[in-house]
């Protein structure tokens, strides 16, 4: 993966911020683009150490892992985004990174859902698929009926209450979903079994069978 920093001006608060990313795979990928958002206790480097960037990039996807401001390596800034800034953060970034007519798969872990929710809710026509890893769900952005058709893969650790109100709300919000529970896994379930995580994301994004028999797939 290659490090990349670009400046992005928010259409919400008009502040220009540097965004630090790790990018892998071909820039003109025919398979599509996967955008990955880490959780609060982690960073963009989590996906490098886990092998996610290499696995997905080598499979032919263009992968953009974002370091979220106020978290991670702090290379995207020390200050956390407020609700207003978060509302357009991903849309403004992808305007610079992805052609306007291209749909993307969003992968969000836990806190990463606060960045993913506004984009998935307000720009669902640009979402080929959504992988939520017990991600925070901000339902105020999910009022469009188009959200109901977004193909969604819900990943949850068995030790993280997969029958919780949060999990049930996620399933209600995205009726076009399939849920996979990682056995004996904590909140960041991908750490328990990276191989399972990678193969699920690849099958979801590419429709290539990998033994999981997923019934829901991204729609690039």
**pLDDT at 102 exceeding the cut of 90:** yes
Residues labelled catalytic:
110, 160, 187
Sequence-ordered strand ranges (E) for 72-210: 104-109, 127-133, 152-157, 177-182
DSSP 50-70: TTHHHHHHHTT-EEEEEPPTT
Mean pLDDT value across residues 124-138: 97
- The model's confidence at residue 213, banded by pLDDT at 50, 70 and 90, is confident
pTM score, whole prediction: 0.96
**pLDDT at 55 exceeding the cut of 80:** yes
pLDDT for the residue 209: 73
How much of the chain is in helix, strand and coil states, percent to nearest 5? 35, 25, 40
* pLDDT tens figures, 110-119: 999 999 999 9
Query: Phi first, then psi: what are they for 150, rounded to 5°?
Result: -65, 120
| C-alpha to C-alpha distances, 93 to 11, 55, 150, 177, nearest whole angstrom | 11, 24, 21, 26
Element (H, E) at 49: helix 44-49
Residue 100 tokens, joined? 């306007």
């Amino acid at each position: 993966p290659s490090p990349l920093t670009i400046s992005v001006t928010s259409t919400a608060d008009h502040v220009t911020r540097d965004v630090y990313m790790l990018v892998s795979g071909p820039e003109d990928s025919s398979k599509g683009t996967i955008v990955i958002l880490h959780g609060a206790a982690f960073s963009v480097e989590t996906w490098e150490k886990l092998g996610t960037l290499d696995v997905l990039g080598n499979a032919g996807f263009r992968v953009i892992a974002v370091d979220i401001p106020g978290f991670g390596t702090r290379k995207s800034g020390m200050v956390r985004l407020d609700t207003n800034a978060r509302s357009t953060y991903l849309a403004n970034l992808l305007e610079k990174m992805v052609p306007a007519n291209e749909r993307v798969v969003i992968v969000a872990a836990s806190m990463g859902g606060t960045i993913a929710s506004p984009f998935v809710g307000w720009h669902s026509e640009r979402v080929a698929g959504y992988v939520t890893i017990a991600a925070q769900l901000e339902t105020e952005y999910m009022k469009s009926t188009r959200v109901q058709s977004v193909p969604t893969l819900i990943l949850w650790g068995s030790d993280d209450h997969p029958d919780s109100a949060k999990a049930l709300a996620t399933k209600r919000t995205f009726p076009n979903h399939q849920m996979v529970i990682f056995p004996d896994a904590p909140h960041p379930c991908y750490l328990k079994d990276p191989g399972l995580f990678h193969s699920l994301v690849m099958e979801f994004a590419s429709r290539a069978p990998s033994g999981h028999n997923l019934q829901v797939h991204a729609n690039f």
